[in-house]
Structure 1
């Protein structure tokens, strides 16, 4: 029998689990089948890989050698597979742009600007509420560029080999119906919303925890948080069921006003990401510049955001 990668993965699983019983459960095998497979692997390698005892298994000297090599071989093969997949999926022309982004006006504004700057480029878009999903699509070569974001100064979505650059940082505003008692305020203190129910779009970063921490500092615990899509969020605010949390660039919507929170307890950092290997440096510079200009245009179209920037002397 020749040694294969699956055999190394089996040996690693046994070592990590510490017993054949637990490893069999992880691998979805019956224990006798795993024991027989281990014996075949040991015959191929010329000796026992594990010593069996009352409390599980322990690697022999030969087993330690195999495990040490597997820690190098398995990640290297995985990386090779990922690189090959990215290369196969990457378009061979610079005039093809696959863009991704979270929900909001920035992706549309970027597409609009790029359509003028590179009019012969073929563009496709994908949206997701999950920054991690967008990062994974970049890593797998299914996207060329992605607009994502993080709460405050949190780290960008994690995936090996990705480059992230800041587009802009927005304060987080609150959305209230026009008839709300606080709708005419220039800004709203978080403590004044202690009795409200809340709504926001979902995410897989730390925004929810940061919001809860801000409320705790203000002396209250949110009564309820509805995590929903943008259309449902708007509806809940319009009918007075909840107040919403949104980025300051949220577009003007009938029946709703957006107001800054006193002291800016929450912020959202817009990021543009691409893969360091398959990404094109010249195209990345163009897309980043257009993303920043797209954000400036979206921000200027919001009266409440424009007023906030003027009050805080943001250029």
Structure 2
């Protein structure tokens, strides 16, 4: 019998479980079947891999050697499979744009622009609240590009082979209902909202921590934070249940006023990511340019953002 990858996975499963019974359950096998398979593997390798005892199994010297090698071989094979999948899809990168993104209007604007510049291309989209999930999909070759973001200057989702380029940086605005006492203000001091409940969309970055720090600098601790989808966030603001936090590019919405925070204590950096193995430089440059144009268009369509931009000092 020749040793196969599945045999190494079986050995790892037995070592991790610490007993044949638990390993059989994890592998979905009957214990007699697993015992018989282990014996065949041991015959192929020339000796016992585990010592059986009252409290389970323990690797022999030969077993430790095999386990040590498996810790190198199995991840290497997984990486090879992922890279092969990326290479297999690479020739189609210019014909099909598989885009991922988090919440917000930017993804739709990018899709619209790509439809203009590449009318024959097939464009698909995937939405996730998690920047790390999007990075994983890029790494696995299941997305071509991802629009994600980070709070302030935080690092983008890390994964080997990924390239992240900045699209734009937005100030974070607050959302209040039209009848709110601060709805007519040109900008809002964060301290003026000390008694409010808050709402924002979820994420796995440091935005929540950065918001808490900004509130502490303003002299208060936020009472409550609702992390919810965009539609629910809008509803909570419209009915006066919470003050919302949003990127400045958030589209104008009936019943809601968006206002900048004095001093811009929070910012959001829009990023475009791709895998350097699967994307040609010219394709990535095209998508990045369209993403930046899309952001400019979305920003221009927001009256509150336009006013904020006009009020900024010329660099």
TM range (shorter): 0.7 to 0.9
2:64 match = 64
2:204 match = 204
Q: 1:255 to 1:5 in 2, by over 3 A?
A: same
Is 1:257 the counterpart of 2:262 in the alignment? no
Deviations, residues 244-274 of structure 1 (Å, cap 9, x unaligned) = 1100111111221111223333221111011
1:155 match = 155
Q: In 2, distance between residues paired with 1:229 and 1:311? A: 31
Aligned-pair distance for 1:109? 1.9
Aligned-pair distance for 1:34? 4.6
1:130 match = 130
Deviations, residues 23-60 of structure 1 (Å, cap 9, x unaligned) = 55654556665555433322221112234567765543
2:49 match = 49
Is 1:184 the counterpart of 2:158 in the alignment? no
Q: In 1, distance between residues paired with 2:314 and 2:270? A: 16
Is 1:8 the counterpart of 2:5 in the alignment? no
Question: Which moved further from structure 2: 22-31 or 206-215?
Answer: 22-31
Q: In 2, distance between residues paired with 1:122 and 1:26? A: 41
1:214 match = 214
SS in 1 for 2:92: coil
TM-score under structure 2 length normalisation: 0.87
Question: Which moved further from structure 2: 248-257 or 299-308?
Answer: 299-308
1:229 match = 229
Aligned-pair distance for 1:80? 2.1
Q: In 2, distance between residues paired with 1:314 and 1:60? A: 71
For the 8 Å contact 2:86–2:277, the answer to whether it is kept is no
1:306 match = 306
Q: 1:314 to 1:249 in 2, by over 3 A?
A: farther
For the 8 Å contact 2:100–2:134, the answer to whether it is kept is yes
SS in 2 for 1:172: strand
Deviations, residues 137-194 of structure 1 (Å, cap 9, x unaligned) = 3223332211111222333234443221111121211101121111122222222222
For structure 2, which runs of at least 5 residues remain unmatched after alignment? none
Deviations, residues 210-261 of structure 1 (Å, cap 9, x unaligned) = 3233334444333322222222211221121111110011111122111122
For structure 1, which runs of at least 5 residues remain unmatched after alignment? none
Please give the root-mean-square deviation of Cα atoms over the aligned residues, in Å.
2.7
Aligned-pair distance for 1:3? 1.9
For the 8 Å contact 1:177–1:240, the answer to whether it is kept is yes
1:106 match = 106
Note the 1:167-182 alignment, pairs <5 A.
Answer: 167-182=167-182
SS in 1 for 2:271: strand
Q: In 1, distance between residues paired with 2:61 and 2:267? A: 54
1:140 match = 140
For the 8 Å contact 2:93–2:278, the answer to whether it is kept is no
Q: 1:119 to 1:153 in 2, by over 3 A?
A: same
Q: In 1, distance between residues paired with 2:99 and 2:305? A: 26
Q: In 2, distance between residues paired with 1:96 and 1:118? A: 10
SS in 2 for 1:113: helix
Question: Which moved further from structure 2: 66-75 or 129-138?
Answer: 129-138
Q: 1:40 to 1:233 in 2, by over 3 A?
A: same
SS in 2 for 1:292: helix
SS in 2 for 1:70: helix
For the 8 Å contact 1:190–1:262, the answer to whether it is kept is yes
